[in-house]
Amino acid sequence: MLEAKIQPGDCGTADPAHCVTCSDEAVRARVLQITQGGMALVEMDTGSAKTIEEISLELVDARAGDIVLAHARVAIARVAASEG
């Protein structure tokens, strides 16, 4: 299982919150429900609003309640496990 501890500068860019490949940023998301086909409904927190989105969990072992980093509608790391 991939447990990420993202630190400033880990991505290799001047702005550590952005992807070195496409300059987009990963967004923290709380997994609300696991759905079919390796997908999940998550609550995304972009700072200005919270939205419900469906993302792929294909790269990350996560369950409801976990916090993941999502990029391009794909969870790329689990940053916090659920407390249950």
Residue 65 belongs to a domain with what CATH number?
2.30.30.140
Question: pLDDT tens across 24-70, in order?
Answer: 678 889 999 999 999 999 998 777 888 999 999 999 999 999 999 99
- Per the DSSP assignment, residues forming a β-bridge with 45 are 50
Which residues are within 8 A (CB) of 47 and not within 5 positions of it... i.e. 6 or more apart? none
**Residue 60 maps to a domain:** yes
Cα(8)–Cα(69) distance, rounded to whole angstroms? 15
In sequence order, the β-bridge partners of residue 43 are 30, 52
pLDDT(74) > 70: yes
Question: Which position has the token pair 């200005």?
Answer: 48
**pTM above the 0.75 mark?**
no
Number of domains in the chain: 1
Identify the residue with better confidence: 58 or 15: 58
Domain membership flag for residue 11: no
Write out the H or E segment, with its range, that includes residue 68. Answer: strand 67-71
Tokens of 23: 């300059």
Any domain includes 15? no
